[in-house]
Structure 1
Amino acid sequence: MFAPVSPADPTHSATPQRRDLIAGLEKGLAVICAFDQERPLLSVTEVAERCQLTRAAARRYLITLEHLGFVRSERGRWSLSAKVLRLAQSYMHSGRLPRLVQPELHRLVAALKEASSAGVLDGDDVICIAALTAGHLVSSTLQPGTHVPAFCTANGRVLLAALPPAQSDAWLAGRHFEPRTAHTITDPQRLRAELARVRSQGYALVDQELEIGLRTISVPLLSADGAVLAAINVSAHAARRSAEQLIDECLPALRQTQATLRRLL
């Protein structure tokens, strides 16, 4: 139904030679990424474990990042500072994809009165690059910069379905899936069948697999040559719209947005 993810996607770029990489930068960024919503405060030992560093090396990276203003320490625990937002802000302001997508989200949300977001695949997760609510909170994950598991989200399944079959099979085979709700599909065979369905029909519908009460429908964002660059969704509370209503009422608008963006991407 759609072409594989664009080679420009960082998860599909050519692997560089190790001699061309700056190990210190790689490890420093890994330290920043060690902090997340579940672990906002970390000790030196915890950072070392999460980043596969010695305790001495983790301490030096943290001290350097503190000197640069990206982390702060208090009573032996470390946390990110607001300066880290500058890294995300640089992408949001300069990246072509979020700048093109955001105006279309405004039109989509205004028409449907439901939340919408766009995301790209990053390892196990989907990172939100643009989002807009319709004035009512549907999920705390619908904001730029948040990341959610790819396997149990509509945007994630669209992006996984766009991978070459051998690559998506390897992705499924290499992971253990923890249920987020009682509805979450965690069996690799069922997930493989779901990805085949998404690939065939051109959209993904996920019903309360990430959060109870959250229903989401998603389509891929395609370049002019048909490569998948990202995914865009509409999210609604289960009390507001049924799964059938998402397909009947929201999918046509999503596909119209998809067509509009394809002329721009």
Structure 2
Amino acid sequence: MNAFDPQDADAERASDSAFPAAAAARPTPPVPQKRDLIAGLEKGLSVIAAFDQDRPRLTMSEVAALCGLTRAAARRYLITLEHLGFVTSDRKMYALTPKVLRLGQSYMHSARLPRIVQPELHKLAYALKEASSAGVLDGADVICIAATSAGRVVSSTLQPGTRVPAYCTANGRVLLSALPQGEVDAWIAGQNLAPLTPNTITHGERLRIEIARARAQGYAAVDQELELGLRTISVPLKSYRGEVLAAMNISVHAARVSMDQLVNDCLPALLQAQASLRTVL
């Protein structure tokens, strides 16, 4: 699956003119003046973001190195965050507290997108008896903003707030396919395409073709590239103006559902949900 087939380039060339007009023409946010930015807030948030699943506990020196801070500055940020209740310390090791969840809850409770998408995911998942989720692109990753399992637990990544690499997931490829080709090329060039499973596409040109394929056909299907046993199919969620806001998928276990079954049985329902959501997004 990782081998690069030059014939697949036909799919890429055929889709070069198929960029969504709204995505290509989407307004670019104005670049703020440096004097308008609060450097302390930016650095404080970077300290929080330094903690993750692989680094749940950090020393002051590690925080300084990860965030590009002096040790003295890292100390002040950690002391402040601890005073506010977002960080706890024990024997020179620091960790986040559950209070950090309030930051994510503020988004989940106030943002319109998850509240609109969640009911449709429930309908979709229970109709198909398979897990469903929606996500948005954030740098190299896709962040899950809504999900439901419908009683099928196929992956621990299918829950709100989790992050997965965009290059080897169906939601990721759908979201990348909405970008202009120049942005896609730059994005691929900046990625470490690690082989998470024997099926993971790690060849940059092959990935570029798969993203072009998703753009041309309007969906992406991924076979056990993120996790062995996990197959996923995804479609973009568009606003009424045609702008891609998120991606929505169905995830199944490979032992139960073949790739052909995944496309034939799940894609029509996904497209129906996509059309329903487009009227309200």
1:193-249 Cα distance to aligned partner (Å, 9 max, x none): 101100000000011000000000000000001110000000011012111111000
Q: How many residues align?
A: 262
> What residue in structure 2 maps to residue 69 of structure 1?
85
User: How many angstroms does 1:37 deviate by?
Assistant: 1.0
How many angstroms apart in 2 are the aligned matches of 1:13 and 1:81? 33
Structure 2 spans left out of the alignment, 5+ residues? 1-17
Superposed CA offset, 1:64-112 (max 9, x none): 0010011111111111100011111111111000000000011001101
Q: Which residue of 2 aligns with 1:17?
A: 33
Q: Are the equivalent residues in 1 in contact too, given 2:88–2:95 (CA < 8 A)?
A: yes
Q: Does structure 1 residue 140 correspond to structure 2 residue 159? A: no
Alignment of structure 1 residues 98-247 onto 2, 5 Å: 98-247=114-263
Q: Distance in 2 between matches of 1:125 and 1:15?
A: 23
Shift of 1:15: 2.6
Structure 1: which amino acid aligns with 2:47? V
Using the size of structure 2 for normalisation, the TM-score is: 0.90
Give the superposition deviation at 1:13.
3.3
Q: 1:248 to 1:37 in 2, by over 3 A?
A: same
TM-score, length-scaled by structure 1:
0.96
Greater C-alpha Rg: 2
Question: CA, structure 1 residues 219+5, in 2 after alignment: closer, same or farther (shift >3 Å)?
Answer: farther
Q: Does 1:89 align with 2:105?
A: yes
Distance 2:54 2:24 in 1: 30
Q: Name the residue aligned to 1:258.
A: 274
Counterpart of 1:225, as a letter, is: R
- Among the aligned pairs, what percent are the same residue? 68
- Residue type of the partner of 1:110? Y
What's the counterpart of residue 23 of structure 2?
4
After TM superposition, what 4+ stretches of structure 1 lie above 3 angstroms from structure 2?
A: 5-8
RMSD (Å), alpha carbons: 1.3
Superposition pairs for residues 45-64 of structure 1, below 5 Å? Answer: 45-64=61-80
- Structure 2 SS opposite 1:218: strand
Letter in 2 for 1:236: V
Distance 1:117 1:81, change over 3 A: same
Gaps of 5+ in 1: none
